Structure 1
């Protein structure tokens, strides 16, 4: 949320849903699905500076929990980052 607030103009939405024993968290903003964003989502090593570091850390935390992180463009504009995590059994 803080990255969206810092780098995206306009409204930011946080959506949470549980479906089929999985938790999905979505942060949607007015930004774009850029090459920099896609690169940050798939890089194997941390970036040299701070640009893309937050997404790199989130991706590794999500991976460690058996989840996924993906970005998708929204129509007519905007981008959504979706984290999907398995629900823990009680």
Structure 2
């Protein structure tokens, strides 16, 4: 039998979903470019456009994670939006 209230379980579920979203952003912004670099090194290919896009995705990692954190966690979202007069 669970010793947690329904509210606690619901909050934990929302938090876990937010962590999954943040992990997805991490994978997209870092793992995909690194995987491409490893592939390019071992296959001895050089595609300038793909290299440039990979570096752009990696450099946007910090801002992307920050924006996602603000959007998926209600306390952060509420505080940040209060600066702009939004409810």
Of Structure 1 and Structure 2, the greater strand share is in: 1
Q: Normalized per residue, which structure has more helix? A: 2
Structure-2-length-normalised TM-score: 0.25
Q: Tell which structure's C-alpha radius of gyration is larger.
A: 2
